[in-house]
Amino acid sequence: MDGRATVAARRRAARDLAAPYGGVLSRALLRTVGVDHRMVRREVSAERWATHGVQTVATFTGPLDALAHRWRGVWEVGDRVAAVDGVTALHHAGMTGYDDDRVHVSVRHTTEVEDVEGVVIHKVVRRVEGELLEGGLPRTRPAVAAVRAAHWAVSDRQAALLLVLPVQQRLCTGEQLVAAADEVRMRTRRALVPRLARDVADGAHSLGELDVVAACRRRGLPEPSNQTVRRLPGGRAYLDVEWREARLVVEVDGAGHVAGLQPGDDTLRQNAVALGDDLVLRVGLLGWRLTPEVYLDQICAAYRSRLTRAA
């Protein structure tokens, strides 16, 4: 076999090897099919391949797709120390409804690394036992990735969204999220993230009702009735919080109220109560955690308005 045929064979081998990586390879992987730095230089000069950093070589010259960008992030930071984490790990697991084109990776806080364009490097104090998935792209499990993403978020609202989406989209369970929030402790949102995780898991729905009632009491509203029973056309219904004298009902919605057929059931119940001339206000538990004063303003205004009307 002449040299030209050998080069063509190595080129095909590199292309085949790169397919599961989005068409890119590290220089270490290229060496396994006989491609050294000289051949890389020639292929790049001939505009058949392109380099994307120090370690990453694309076996084509077009833009990289999401998978290729993730592998590039790991290789450029260091595949022995870096793992895709946070939002990027959630995207890799299939999360939709949240956009972030940057690649987020985590390394141990003692690791010395250089900045990489397009890559956000997060240093973590420790790895949680079993947090890294085996096989394929080095990445953290969805529950751990969600908790870290919430800690790294730019706002509390963004943090809440990044905890809700993975559970809603069944990338992890609520129980897994709560366990990860208890294990992954970071400097930001140390109290908020575990509380939100419990709310997402819907294990704190009743506690959420108690929080709302206590806050209303501090605002000067009288003690309401909790979990009162109404007989509606569709059967019995339990109302979370009710001020009968003002004909005002407040429903506290945990994560379970956005799953499956529950939204439809809630709407029918709300309509049935409203047809009886009661006002129904809904309080999303996650929204309450983030902006309770806004909800309180609405509840207090509704109570006073309804009480005046009833008189």
pLDDT digits (tens, 9 = 90+) for 78-114: 999 999 999 999 999 999 989 999 999 999 999 999 9
Q: What percent of the chain has pLDDT over 90?
A: 60
Same domain flag for 166 and 240: no
CB 18 within 8 A of CB 24: yes
Cα 17 to Cα 136: distance, rounded to the nearest angstrom: 13
Least-confidence region, from 85-89, 144-148, 214-218: 214-218
Tallying the residues shown for the chain, one arrives at 311
Q: Which pLDDT does position 233 carry in this prediction?
A: 66
Cα 251 to Cα 60: distance, rounded to the nearest angstrom: 56
Residue ending a domain, among 201, 219, 234, is 201
SS3 297: helix
Same domain flag for 5 and 118: no
Query: What's the pLDDT band for 204 if we cut at 50, 70, 90?
Result: very low
Cα 151 to Cα 102: distance, rounded to the nearest angstrom: 17
Number of domains in the chain: 3
Same domain flag for 49 and 84: no
Average pLDDT over residues 251-259: 63
CB 110 within 8 A of CB 54: no
Question: What does pTM read for this prediction?
Answer: 0.73
Q: For residue 71, which amino acid is it?
A: W
Same domain flag for 187 and 127: yes
Composition of the chain by helix, strand, coil, percent to 5: 50, 15, 30
The CATH number covering residue 287 comes to 3.40.960.10
Same domain flag for 99 and 54: no
Whole-angstrom CA distances from 150 to 101, 155, 208, 221, 248 are 17, 9, 20, 34, 35
Same domain flag for 144 and 272: no
Between the two ends of the chain, the Cα-to-Cα distance in Å is 100
Most trustworthy range by pLDDT among 44-53, 177-186, 195-204, 274-283: 44-53
Tokens of 138: 């080095």
247, containing H or E segment: none
Domain holding 19, by residue range, is 1-63
Query: Residue 96's Cα: distance from chain center in Å?
Result: 9
Same domain flag for 175 and 261: no
Same domain flag for 112 and 59: no
Same domain flag for 69 and 197: yes
